[in-house]
């Protein structure tokens, strides 16, 4: 094997693999030695392994290190092993920076740093600064090794970086000088024939698109003693090192007009996108002087995609007169959508169309790449999975960075964040969604829902207890804290609820035995653990101690199983790496939390490449691997290409050199490589329309440049859309738009669910409102429903639709689900104030003392904390006493006992038990203006009173409300007949929804029979009551009424007659108070 560096170039990865196979066919001198192939990512490694196995039949005993790892191996082979902890790696260097920084801040050169840190003394700011400085120093060792070596020799380095030189020297003194730049210098000095014998027999570098000069010089040095082959994807076979983009040409010509004629653009796409690759090839030519081996292959230029690739290959830049006829093929498609989800749905339908029209196309021939895998990956996976008879696309999601959203590592990070905060109830309860936590504390889904209900109804809002709130500087009260709610729950398990308090605690009424006991026990253990964790996180300690303690806390909260073990392993490895920082100075939790989140965020789930189905991954790993169909999604303006935002003290950004890494240029070259890797079809999509107003949103500048290239390359007849518009499709806002399901639609949709929705929408377009839900009556109700209490009859007329659904169908409809509150009430809402006032009225009516009501309301969590609660209770008490005093003489005499009776009314038996009856009649109270439901309730009870006719009691019922408003019902001639009529309505309401809503029907009845209005005006009043207002919501929001009667409300045949049957007779015996 002859030493030297050989550069193999091609525009096709297939030709590079052929050349690599030719090289590898020559065996190594040592049959047991591993082949070393340096690659840039695991996706390329997977593809190479498959390709070489296909060519050789068997491929094994090969290693695929990344460039940094390969160079470190060579350094160790020549110089001896370095420190296994790698103290100069940024994840450990950050702790050493935090250690030496305090001793440097008083130096004059550190004035700006000192002022920056003093402006925000929180630990997180110092950590973030140290982390950025550690990362910068790591990059200096690769991109500016001459600087750090000069600093060690005592030199100040570039102007303005003197403080960095002092910090570097302090770190070298603390850690030692065996960093990468020093090891490179020693390696180059020590490398000779004898030392080279410890290096691999040959080195292969495959598919890299960029390398810093640091690594190029190491390769060149190795190539003096070992054969080194670099296989590079080169988009152009011509000499293109000197081409410049049009913008760069204009800028340079402006500064030096005399050089304009020497500046060449060549192919515009190559000039604007290829800078990163061009600089890499220049470095190889300038510093390594390789022997070249070109393996270029012209693409099929009969398609639009192939023509663009061919023009890049041949360095062609077409002028208007050189444009070619538009081929009219579908090799390029650009989709503009209304957001990431629509992009995923549009791509699914596009791929299904390709599979249908190209029978030989397999899912393995397709790659989907995105610059934002965290956003697009889950959406693509969910859409491709299909389900419920939806089409499915086999796929694998690869290369996702950071912990999975539902995995234990993400759950642990969230747990630490919540524990260190205010312990808000919604945030704490959200932790119960992690399966590892559920297993550890013995909860299933039903138990978790039970716990959620308990916490909400027990009044828990935030904070552990009064002491915790005081420590946060947010008050000294204990109401609505976790301790407040847990005490109520535990006491509710131990004793029966009532009005009595035990040591100021009111037992929660709904905790029973069995599953409730187990769920409550788990909640208590969980809360004790999180309280202890919160205390522990407030204690600073060295990084190694943090690592041990956090590992123990993870095991205390999580029990992982199955697939979760992989992510839990990543967390444990991150903690083990933190332990390598040793027992340095104590650091606060905020610094450790940021470090741990950053460490886990760098971990990539690199499995799944080319393992069957469509590959969904980030742009980096697969952009140069050839596929028949290449799809790029999420090419949004401002998101891609990325923008470099270096810190102000970044010396590399101040004094850039050729070969420096640039995210923007790197992304541009990624896009170019993806363009070249598509063999038959290129699909691009972006969010190009606003979901709010359909306004157009520009795509990534790279998409625009590609569309411009199409317009420059191809000619079309006048008065026809240009090529850029022919390849672009603007999708609809919704996937169920009827336009997708018309014959021959392009784009179309393959979704059965969306097709069904489109058909239903088309059929419903002729209807403005939902119609009645149950047009045909149910069979006769069971006989037991014909025996009922007076309270049953009242509940029926309070909401006949809800009663029908619950009693006959077993369906209980709730309104929109409300999240758990995280802030204690500053004042009671109207419903709470009404309930409190009603309870005080009940106490007054029963002759009981009101003194303990305030303490009870506090213990139940119904009042704001502190003085605000006392004021709120005083307001409610004042309202109640005002109503009580308005009753005046009506309640002067004590209540009388009325013996319960059972009334036989035709087919029905009505059990009547009346309370609140006095010699002057029945008195009902309402701490608000009386409404329709109060009229119904009072009327039902008045009829019962008249039917019972207790001795010594006047047949009068009074409803006393706020501001002394209300009604009084006098004697009724036929109470049993009227009750029988109400029971017939009850019977009808058990067979089909009764067209009755108390407030809506009261609006009709009051106008029609109380004020003598006509039918039309009465119905208008009813509709107004149905709709309601901003301050008094109408019954149109009631889920049971909506379900039974639709948007139009209960205004169906029988509405007026029912309102008349209920409310009409009341006006014959009623008078206002």
Q: How many residues does the chain have?
A: 1073
By three-state DSSP, how is residue 1004 classified? Answer: helix
- CB-side neighbour CA atoms (13 Å) of 993: 26
By three-state DSSP, how is residue 682 classified? Answer: strand
Cα–Cα distance, 467 to 481 (Å, whole number): 10
Cα–Cα distance, 302 to 299 (Å, whole number): 9
Is residue 532 within 8 A of residue 552, CB to CB? The reply is no
CB atoms within 10 A of CB 951: 6
pLDDT at 388: 74
CA nearest 71: which of 182, 219, 192, 190? 219
pLDDT at 401: 58
pLDDT at 604: 53
Instruction: Decide if 4-81+193-235+274-294 and 304-399+608-733 have a common fold.
Output: yes
The stretches in the chain having pLDDT less than 70 are 1, 247-250, 252-255, 257-263, 265, 399-406, 497, 512-515, 603-610, 763-775, 814-819, 828-831
Residue 617's beta-bridge partner residues?
369
Ordered by start, the domain boundaries in the chain are 4-81+193-235+274-294, 90-177, 304-399+608-733, 408-602, 738-766, 783-814+892-1072
Cα–Cα distance, 666 to 277 (Å, whole number): 9
Is residue 634 within 8 A of residue 372, CB to CB? The reply is yes
Query: Quick one: fold of 90-177?
Result: Arc Repressor Mutant, subunit A (1.10.10)
pLDDT at 387: 77
CA nearest 1: which of 230, 218, 202, 195? 202
Tens-digit pLDDT profile for residues 423-461: 999 999 999 999 999 999 999 889 999 999 899 888 899
Cis bond before residue 641 (omega within 30° of 0): yes
How far CA 790 is from CA of 818, 895, 1060, in Å, comes to 32, 19, 21
CB atoms within 10 A of CB 871: 13
Cα–Cα distance, 220 to 573 (Å, whole number): 35
pLDDT at 408: 92
- The CATH superfamily assigned to 408-602 is PCRA; domain 4 (1.10.486.10)
CA nearest 923: which of 899, 970, 890? 890
Q: What is the DSSP secondary structure assignment for residue 230, as one 8-state letter? A: E
pLDDT at 272: 92
Alpha-carbon torsion, ordered 648, 650, 652, 654, to 10 deg: 30
Task: Give the pTM.
Answer: 0.80
Instruction: Beginning with the edge strand found earlier in the chain, give each strand of the sheet holding 966-969 in spatial order.
Output: 917-918, 921-925, 957-960, 966-969, 1070-1072
Cα–Cα distance, 326 to 329 (Å, whole number): 8
Helix axes 589-601, 564-579, angle to 10 degrees: 130
Query: HEC profile for 472-493?
Result: CCCCCCCCCCHHHHHHHHHHHH
Tens-digit pLDDT profile for residues 867-898: 888 888 888 888 888 888 888 878 878 888 99
pLDDT at 140: 96
Concatenate the DSSP letters of all residues of 795-826 into one string: HHHH-HHHHHHHHHH------S--PPP-S--S
Helix axes 340-357, 373-385, angle to 10 degrees: 50
Those residues with Cβ within 8 angstroms of residue 166's Cβ, 6 or more apart along the chain or in another chain: 104, 107, 109, 110
Longest dimension (CA), the chain: 124
pLDDT at 768: 46
Residue 911's beta-bridge partner residues?
789, 902
In this structure, whether the domain defined by 304-399+608-733 belongs to CATH 3.40.50.300 is answered with: yes
Concatenate the DSSP letters of all residues of 711-758 into one string: HHHEE--TTS--HHHHSEEE--SSTT-GGGGSTT-SS----HHHHHHH
CA nearest 919: which of 895, 886, 888, 901? 895
The residue ranges of DSSP E strands in 572-706, in sequence order, are: 604-605, 614-618, 627-632, 678-687
Tens-digit pLDDT profile for residues 569-626: 999 999 999 999 988 889 999 999 999 998 887 755 555 566 779 999 988 877 889 9
What is the domain class of 4-81+193-235+274-294 according to CATH?
alpha beta
CA nearest 914: which of 945, 947, 960, 882? 945
Cα–Cα distance, 640 to 642 (Å, whole number): 5
Burial class (CB in 10 A: 0-12, 13-18, 19+), 1049: buried
Cα–Cα distance, 13 to 594 (Å, whole number): 40
Cα–Cα distance, 526 to 489 (Å, whole number): 14
């Amino acid at each position: 094997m002859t030493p030297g560096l050989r550069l193999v170039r091609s525009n096709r990865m297939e030709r590079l693999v052929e050349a690599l196979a030719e090289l590898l066919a020559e065996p190594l001198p040592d049959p047991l030695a591993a082949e070393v192939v340096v690659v840039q990512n695991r996706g390329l490694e997977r593809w190479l392994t498959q390709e070489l196995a296909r060519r050789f039949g068997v491929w094994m005993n090969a290693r695929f290190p990344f460039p940094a790892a390969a160079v470190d191996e060579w350094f160790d082979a020549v110089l001896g092993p370095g420190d296994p902890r790698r103290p100069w790696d940024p994840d450990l260097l950050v702790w050493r920076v935090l250690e030496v920084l305090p001793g440097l801040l008083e130096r004059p050169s550190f004035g700006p740093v000192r002022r920056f840190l003093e402006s925000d003394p929180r630990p997180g700011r110092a950590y973030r600064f140290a982390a950025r400085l550690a990362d910068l120093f790591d990059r200096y060792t690769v991109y500016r090794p001459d600087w750090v070596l000069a600093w060690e020799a005592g030199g100040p380095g570039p102007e303005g970086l003197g403080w960095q030189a002092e910090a570097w020297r302090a770190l070298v003194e603390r850690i030692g000088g065996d960093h990468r730049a020093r090891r490179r210098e020693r390696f180059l000095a020590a490398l000779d024939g004898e030392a080279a014998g410890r290096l691999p027999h040959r080195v292969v570098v495959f598919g890299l698109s960029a390398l810093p000069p640091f690594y190029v010089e190491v390769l060149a040095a190795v190539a003096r003693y070992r054969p080194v082959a670099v296989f590079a994807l080169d988009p152009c076979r011509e000499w293109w090192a000197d081409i410049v983009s049009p913008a760069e040409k204009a800028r340079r010509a402006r500064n030096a007009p005399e050089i304009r004629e020497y500046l060449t653009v060549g192919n515009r796409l190559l000039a604007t996108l290829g800078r990163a690759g061009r600089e890499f090839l220049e470095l190889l030519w300038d510093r390594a002087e390789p022997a070249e081996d070109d393996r270029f292959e012209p693409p099929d230029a009969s398609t639009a995609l192939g023509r663009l690739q061919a023009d890049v290959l041949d360095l062609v830049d077409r002028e208007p007169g050189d444009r070619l006829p538009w081929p009219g093929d579908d090799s390029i498609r650009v989709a503009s959508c209304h957001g990431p989800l629509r992009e995923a749905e549009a791509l699914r339908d596009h791929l299904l169309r390709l599979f249908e029209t190209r029978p030989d196309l397999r899912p393995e021939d397709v790659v989907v790449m995105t610059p934002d895998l965290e956003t697009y990956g889950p959406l693509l996976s969910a859409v491709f999975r299909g389900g419920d008879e939806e089409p499915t696309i086999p796929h694998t999601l690869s290369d996702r960075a950071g912990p999975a959203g539902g995995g234990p590592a993400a759950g642990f990070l969230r747990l630490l964040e919540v524990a260190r905060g205010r312990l808000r109830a919604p945030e704490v309860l959200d932790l119960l969604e992690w399966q590892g936590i559920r297993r550890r504390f013995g909860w299933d889904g039903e138990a978790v829902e039970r716990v959620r209900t308990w916490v909400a109804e027990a009044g828990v809002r935030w904070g552990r207890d009064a002491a915790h709130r005081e420590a946060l500087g947010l008050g000294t009260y204990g109401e609505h804290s976790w301790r407040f709610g847990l005490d109520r729950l535990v006491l509710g398990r131990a004793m029966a609820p009532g009005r009595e308090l035990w040591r100021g605690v009111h037992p929660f009424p709904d905790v029973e035995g069995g599953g409730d006991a187990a769920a409550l026990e788990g909640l208590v253990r969980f809360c004790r653990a999180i309280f202890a964790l919160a205390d522990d996180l407030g204690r600073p300690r060295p990084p190694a101690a943090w690592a041990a303690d956090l590992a123990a806390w993870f095991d205390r909260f999580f029990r992982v199983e199955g697939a979760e073990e992989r992510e839990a392993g990543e967390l444990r490895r991150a903690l083990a790496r933190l332990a390598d920082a040793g027992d340095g100075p104590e650091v606060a939790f905020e610094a450790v939390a940021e470090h741990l989140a950053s460490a886990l965020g760098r971990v990539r789930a690199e499995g799944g490449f080319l393992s069957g189905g469509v590959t969904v991954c980030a742009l980096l790993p697969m952009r140069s691997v050839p596929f028949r169909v290449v799809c790029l999604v999420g090419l949004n303006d401002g998101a891609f290409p990325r923008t470099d935002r270096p810190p102000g003290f970044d010396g590399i950004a101040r004094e850039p050199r050729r070969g420096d890494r640039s995210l923007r240029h790197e992304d541009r070259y990624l896009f170019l490589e993806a363009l070249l890797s598509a063999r038959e079809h290129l699909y691009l999509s972006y969010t190009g329309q606003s979901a709010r107003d359909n306004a157009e949103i520009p795509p990534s500048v790279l998409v625009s440049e590609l569309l411009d290239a199409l317009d420059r390359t191809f000619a079309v007849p006048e008065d026809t859309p240009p090529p850029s518009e022919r390849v672009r499709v603007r999708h609809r806002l919704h996937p169920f738009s009827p336009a997708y399901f018309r014959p021959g639609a392009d784009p179309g949709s393959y979704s059965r669910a969306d097709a069904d929705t489109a058909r239903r929408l088309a059929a419903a377009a002729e209807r403005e409102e939902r119609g009645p839900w149950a047009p045909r009556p149910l069979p006769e109700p069971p006989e037991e429903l014909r025996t009922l209490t007076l309270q049953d009859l009242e509940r029926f007329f309070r909401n006949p639709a809800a009663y029908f659904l619950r009693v006959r169908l077993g369906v209980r409809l709730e309104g929109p689900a409300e999240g758990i509150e995280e802030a204690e009430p500053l004042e009671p809402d109207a419903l709470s104030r009404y309930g409190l006032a009603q309870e005080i009225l009940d106490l007054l009516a029963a002759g009981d003392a009101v003194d303990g009501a305030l303490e009870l309301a506090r213990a139940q969590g119904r009042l704001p904390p502190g003085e605000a609660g006392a004021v709120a209770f005083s307001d409610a008490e004042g309202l109640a006493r005002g109503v009580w005093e308005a009753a005046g003489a009506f309640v002067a005499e004590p209540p009388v006992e009325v013996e319960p009776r059972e009334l036989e009314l035709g087919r029905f038996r009505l059990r009547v038990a009346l309370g609140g009856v006095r010699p002057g009649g029945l008195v009902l109270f309402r701490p608000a203006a009386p409404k329709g439901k109060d009229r119904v309730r009072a009327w039902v009870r008045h009829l019962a009173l008249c039917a019972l006719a207790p001795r010594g009691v006047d047949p009068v019922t009074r409803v006393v409300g706020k501001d002394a408003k209300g009604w009084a019902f006098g004697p009724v001639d036929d109470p049993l007949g009227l009750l029988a009529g109400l029971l017939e309505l009850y019977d009808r309401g058990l067979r089909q929804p009764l067209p009755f809503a108390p407030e809506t029907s009261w609006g009709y009845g009051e106008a029609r029979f109380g004020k003598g209005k006509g039918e039309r005006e009465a119905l208008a009043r009813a509709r107004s009551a149905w709709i309601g207002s901003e301050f008094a919501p109408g019954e149109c929001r009631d889920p049971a009424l909506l379900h039974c009667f639709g948007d139009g409300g209960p205004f169906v045949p029988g509405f007026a007659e029912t309102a008349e049957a209920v409310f009409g007779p009341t006006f014959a015996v009623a008078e206002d108070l």
